[in-house]
Structure 1
Amino acid sequence: MSLVGAVQTSVLLAVGEGAHWLAWFNPWYLSILPVPLFVLLFLWLTVRYIPNDRVGIVEKLWSSKGYVDEGRIIAMHGEAGYQARLLRGGIHWGYWRWQYAVHKVRLVTVSEGKIAYVYARDGQPLPSSQTLGRVVECNDYQDATAFLTGEIRGQRGRQRAILREGVYAINLAVFTVITESKVQTLDHLLDRNEMAAIHGWRDALADVNGFRPVVIGRGVQFVVEGEEGECQEVDSIGIVTVHDGPSLPPGEIIAPAVGTTATDSHYHNNYQDPEAFLAAGGRRGRQYVPLTDGTYFINRWFASVELIAKTVVPIGSVGVVVSYYGREGQDVTGAGFRHGERVGEGERGVRERPLGPGKYAFNTSAGSIVLVPTTNFVLHWITGKTETHRYDESLKSIDLVTKDAYEPLLPLSVVVHIDYQRAPGVIQRFGDVKKLITQTLDPMLSAFFRDIAHTKTMLELLHDRQSIQEEARLKLRDKFHEFDIECVDVLIGKPDPREGDDKIETLLEQLRLRQLSVEQIDTFAQQRVAAEKRRVLYEAEALADMQTEITNSRSRVQVAESQGDADLALARKKAEQTLVVADADLARSRREAEQTVVVAEAHSKRDQLAGQGRAQRVAQVGLAEASVLLKRIGSFGDPRLYALTQAAEHLSHSAQPLVPDRLFVTGGGAEPATGGNPAGGLLGTLVELLVAERSGFELSGNASDLKDLESYAEKLVSEIPAESKA
């Protein structure tokens, strides 16, 4: 056989069903080609090379079997059209260029920690109850034939199954893969509208961060409070909304829990296995079971996840559960309670048992938790004042009218306690604590204190505050108990005047002045006590400062006392000796004194007798001289003559001249005719005075004077003691 015949035979064998068209060509065409060029042409016509990072999508341009059925895209039985089988990296024979077009596309790559979504352009149509194509065994969409012709055939449209990180050889003629970075498809297969829809899906997924797994746990979350928001670190849970599957029955708003434990036959692994979820009876809509801490690879087309903070019941509070989900409950409050029903676990309504302090993965779409404080909390009926719990933000001071027509505003604070076991009853009856306060406690307390004010004057309202508080505490405690709360204490403040009213201030000013006077008295007394205490303090400080010296002094005192005791003992010995000596001396002195007395009495007797003798002698001499003198005077006949004689005698012996050089005359006496002294003058006066002083009588020169002189002498003689006369 010639070379040309051999090549022709091989070509016929290679091209199979398309070999019959070679008969159209004149064999001379092959005979004129050089052998090398013929081989190259043959290889170019029959051999296809696919790089290892790409796949080849085969498009059959024509076929004797015709074209694929209407409504299908992929040829499964040799028809013309896109083929299900891919060409992987390497050299492939038999794909004639005039019959097959091979589209080389890159392998689908999903980055680590990311998710890719799949859109199937072929498969069974979706029923009206589905929004996503079911999951089938097709090796993660790498086996298009299994997807389209398997026992359970795949459905066209968006798929429930997702692609995790990795590299996939996917037939992009059948499947469009949407990743975070791009949309991988055969661009010429999609029209403008279909391409816009796919890009719209991609943008929507990017908006909900759908290309990343759902991470539940502690993290930063934007929390909106009022009109503003801020980023806070919260501990979150995920509320799941399923967008595929049967709808909820009428009247239901929350889908029930299905296959929630690993032991369930249809465990859906926290919504990560859509088929298991639907097989277990899962329904579309908001799900009752939330996602807790962890990482979840969830198809966001199948289920969206909303992150919310975990419900925290703080210490000092309980959470009353109001459930929107569950079966119809049976009232546990009894026939006598007509304010609503309380139900048990798993039932719809106000749950009988509240949640204690803690952190709960509570689905707020399936119910609400009303926090009720169980510690004592204060409510202020004071205008402009509120506590952090803000239960009293709408309360104001109570306006009163007293008995004497004053109109004060009464500030009031009430300490309230709610028993945790009665908290569900409070919520069931009032809805929440704030409604209890504003709709019940506020009007009740206002009416109570207005009634009290009508019976009190303004001064009584001020002075009787303690008794009013006690009365209010007792009466309000009973009233509060009817509403399942406890009144711990009632605190009344100072009544305030209304705006523009100065009558109360005038009354208070008078009371202040009165009390100030009393306080000043007490202050002065306390200052006196303080001064005394300060003095004691100073003494104590001084005593402390002198403690060393005092200690030394005490030591010296003790030494001195010991020395004194010794000296005292010595002195006692000496005193005893002295007493003995003194007794002896006393006895001796007594004897000497007795002797002295005897001697003294003898001497005294002797001196007395001697004195009497001398006295008698002097008296006798004197009497004798007096008698002689009297007789001498009597011999002159006139005593004055005797006196003049004595004066002349003395003057004769005087050294003074008789006749002085100068004579001073002080005055004369009376005339002789009148009986005056003719010899008056200074000398006469002196003589008269001398005689009068010595004798006690005046000498006048008469005879009677001599008689008086004799009488005087006799008197002197009679006065001489008898002992002297003897």
Structure 2
Amino acid sequence: MPVIIVVLVVVAAAFIAAAVPILRRMRYLPLHRYAVATRRWGLPAPNQSREEFLLRRTRIVRGGQTIPPWSWLYDIHEYDYISIPTGTVGLVKAKIGANAPAGRRLSKYVDCDRFQSVTKFLKGDCEQGVQPELLRGGEAYAIDPQVFDVYTVDSLPADFPAKADDLRLVSVDAEDVGVVIVTDAPAPDDLRAPAPVVEGHNNFQKPWEFLWNGGRSGPQTDILPGGATYAINPLFARVVHIPTRELTLTWGTKSGSEDRYDSELGPLKVTIQGFELEVELTQTLSIPPHAAPFLVKRFGEDADGDVGDHKSTAVKRFVGRVLGEKVRGYFNERASGGEIDRFLHELADTRGKLKVQITQALAEVQVDARETTIGEIRFASDELNKEYREYVVLQQQFRQLEQKLLNQHVANDIERTQLEVHKAKLSAQLDVLIERLGLDHVKRMEAERIRAGATHAPIILTGGMPSAVPIGPVQPSERIAIPAFDATEGLDVFDISPGLPSPNERTETGAPE
């Protein structure tokens, strides 16, 4: 019994002596760090490199765990988690794997837990080079730096084929649409039209799905809606921002530092009769979303710098080459062999015809024309401008006099009509008197009135027929003023009541003679 106890004590002491160094080597990983543990020993399989064999046995130890103490069995390295800044993406470049086919910028996609499982990556027929999958911003990753290089906006090499700004999320304004130009895909079948729609790529954020489903390079028919952000691999595609709001374009001198859609529209100058005139012109238009890919395909497929706040090169080229050339050609045609006075008088007609031509030209590229406005017209010479202003003042005075004359003609026509009505009323009045009193009696009444010096207008009988033309002083012919006329005015009740004597037939006492 004592021997057994002694043996147990010796064994326990030996165990404790062996465990103490092991326990001392164990250490706890803080939460912000991770460890990569790679097995040191083992025999590779046939046709397998020793490096690949060892890497297949690599595992990640997350922060908050204990690192294995068996340093004789594992190579253990500690790292800080790889953080991707919010609002950006991270690119991953693999150091191991097969060589990617020539002409491809991105390697084959492998699902490997966002590059945090080396074993899955190696089992997935991996390729070296930049990977199509991105690391989203705002997260931290435990990635083996022996196998992968991770590039962020803060660590992108100077010789990398993308810029730091390309690693920011693509933000498309609510008033824009994003036209995607795929750069790493087979060429399209039709080089004249945007590439056809491909399903399943989640707004081009999964390049591998796009390629598996037959996607082609170049501007895509499928657009990115505005008001959202997108994580797009800059080596796979770039995004051109096309405005869908109403654009107002002006012809004039622009500052060289301004980034404008109408930067190519310089001052509009027209030469007529050897004199140079400057015309202020404004055009508003709207680009429908479905027209944006065709616009980019025709004018901006090869353009660079169409990211961030830069105005679209495609729109600038379209404005300059289509709109600018059409307007310049139209005004040169109108001015050819013409006269300045005629050119100025026909501005309304010029505007109407110009709008038709602009509408037709824009419709060819599926763009909607809105309002065409011709503003001020100036001579290049200050002296001619002064003379032109004086000419305009005289024109305005002439138009005012023309309007006054027209108004006077209208007033005279009204007065003539009123006079005819007045004459008709007088004639009707005379007819009533003749009907009630008889023609002889009426003639006798008029004769007595004339002898008595009646102040109101007498009735003149010509050829036995009443003309009802009032006699009075001649009025100036420039304007005839006609007073308001009452059909009963100037009539006495005795004039229209048979059997009642007139005032001249009564005595002073009022009794009949």
What is the TM-score with the length of structure 2 in the denominator?
0.49
Structure showing greater relative contact order (alpha-carbon pairs closer than 8 Å, 6 or more residues apart)? 2
What is the TM-score with the length of structure 1 in the denominator?
0.36
Q: Which has the larger radius of gyration?
A: 1
